[in-house]
Structure 1
Amino acid sequence: MARKAFKERLREIRMSDYDAEMYEKFSGNVRKQVKAMRIILDALQAKGKERQWLKHQMTGELDDMKLIEGLTGEKNIYKRRAEQEPEPGTPQQKPKRIRICVDVSGSMYRFNGLDQRLERSVEAACMVMESFDGYKEKFKYEIWGHSGDGYDIQLVAYDKPPTNNKERLEVLKTMHAHAQFCMSGDHTLEATRHAIKEIKKDEADEYFVVMLSDANLERYGIRPMLLNEALTADEEVNAFVIFIGSIGDQADRLKKQLASGRSFVCLDTKNIPQIMQQIFTSSLLK
C-alpha cells in the first residue's frame, strides 16, 4: 500500500522513479539533520522590537489612569511610546528573513572528487528546503548561487519556495549543472554585499545571511579583510560564512582572519544543524 501511494504521488508531481531515487540519495543523507533543524526552528522566538506604551514615566503624555496620583504629588504619571524587546514566548509579528547563498563556482565541481564539497553544498540546500517547509508564516527563506558567472543566481525565491520533492530536485540539479558549466571566477564578496543590502528591502523580525563558500578566495585575490567588512557592514543583518570545502588549511586560515563568531568550517554535512543553531542564537547575545 505504501509503495502504491508513493507511485501515485510520483505521478501527481510528474516525477520519474529515477528522479525519486536521485532525490532520496540527497534527502536520505540529511534526514536526521532536517529533524534537528526543525526542532531548532520551533524553538526560535520573536526578536523584533515592538512599539509599546511605557508607563510610570516622568515625561511624556499624561496617563489617565494616574490622575489621582498626580493630585497627591506623584511625578511618574506619564506614558510614552518606545521600542521594547518582546517578552519570551511573544508571537512573531513579522517573519524572519533568511538568505542562503550557495557556492556553485567551477572549483566546487572541479574539486568535488577531492573532498565532496559540491555534494555537501547540494545536501545543505536540500536540508534547508526540507527544514523550512511548512514554516512560511514564521520564516521567509530564499537560496541564491554565486560563481564566476555572477553573484545573483536565483535558485529559490521568497514567494515561491519548492513545495514537493520534484521542485526541490530541480534546484539541486541546477546547482550541480551550474557548477559544472560556469565560467571561472569568484563573486563571493559581491554576493555577500548584495545579499546584505537586498534582504532589508522588506520588514522582518530578524535578518540572516548565510554564505556557503569553498574558501578558494586567495586564488582570486579576495582579501579576508574585505570579506570581513562585508559581513559586518550592517549591524541589523546577522551575516555569516560557512566554509564547506578547503584545500589544505585554506578554510582554517580564513576563519582566523574573520570576526569572531562570523565564520565556520564545515567539512561534514551532519554538523550544519549545530552551526545553524549557533547562527540563530547568536542574535540573542546582541
Structure 2
Amino acid sequence: MAADQSKPFFPVGSTHPPRNPKALTPESKYWRSFRNSPLSTDLVLPVTSLEFSPAAPHDLAVSVSASVRLYGGSSLEPKPFSLTSFSDVAYSPSFRCDGKLLAAGGKSGVVQVFKTDKAGHAIRTLKAHTRPVSVVRYPRILDKLHLFSAGDDALLTYWDVPTEAPVHTYEGAHKEYIRAGSGSPVNCEVFATGSYDGSVKLWDVRVDSSDPVLNLYHGGSVASVLFLPSGGLIATAGGNSIKIWDVIGGGRLIHTMNSHNKTVTSMCLGNIGDENLGESRILSVSSDGYLKCLILLRLRSHIR
C-alpha cells in the first residue's frame, strides 16, 4: 500500500545533549607541540645522516653525497655554503658541544673537522680507518678536544683533535661493521658502540685495557645505540626490536619493545618541558615506514 504523502512530516530532534570537547591530555598536548617545518632544499641525492647542534640556535647538519649542508636552527633556511672537502660519500656529522666545529666521516675512512661559521677546507684530518667511517661523535658534555670514530673496519678510535693523533685505538672492537655509537651524557670518556655482529659494547678510555667494560648482546644487526639522559640506561635497536639496558646494574635487560614490523633504522630522544611526561621519549623509525614513541616515564617501575 502506498504511503500517504499528504500527511505532514515533522523532523525528530536529537535526544542526546551536545558533547563537550574533551580536555587535552598530556599525551595529546605532546603531539600537538610538533610543527611541520619543511626545509628549503634542493637535495636530490640520498641523505645519510642528520644532526642538530647542541648549542643555540641548534643548526641542522645534513650529510648528502660528498658534502655536509648546514641549515639555520631558527629559520631552517640553508646557509650560503656547504662543507665539500669530501672525495666520496659523507657520513655521520657531529657538532662539538659549543657548535663551533663539526666533524664527519667518509667512505674512504677519513674523518674531517670543519669550522661551522664559514666555508673552507677541513682544519683537521684524522686518518686511522681503512674502510668507511659510519660513526663520528663528539662527547655530549664539555670536552672540546676529543672525539670518537668507528667504522666498517671494526675499529674504534678516540682522537685528540688538535694534534690529529689517536689517544686510544681499539682494533677488532667488534667482529662486524660498527654502524652505531653514542657518548655518555654524564661522562665524556665513556662511549657505546653497536655492530652488525649483534653486540653492544661499552668503552671507558680511562681504563688501561683494550677490552670493553661491558658487553651486551642485542641479537640481530644493531643499527642504533642511544644513551638515555641519566647516563645509566642504554637503548639499542636491532632487527625489529628496541631494548633498554641498565648499565649501572651490570647490563640488565629491563624492557623490550617489538612494535615495528621491519628493521629499526634509527632512534633519537624527543624532549618536552612537561614534568608530567617525564620530559624524554624515545622516537624510533623503521623501514616499515612508521615512527613510534616509547615514553621513558613508563620505565621507572623497572628500575630498582
Normalising by structure 1, we get a TM-score of 0.26
1 or 2 for the larger relative contact order (CA 8 Å, sep ≥6)? 1
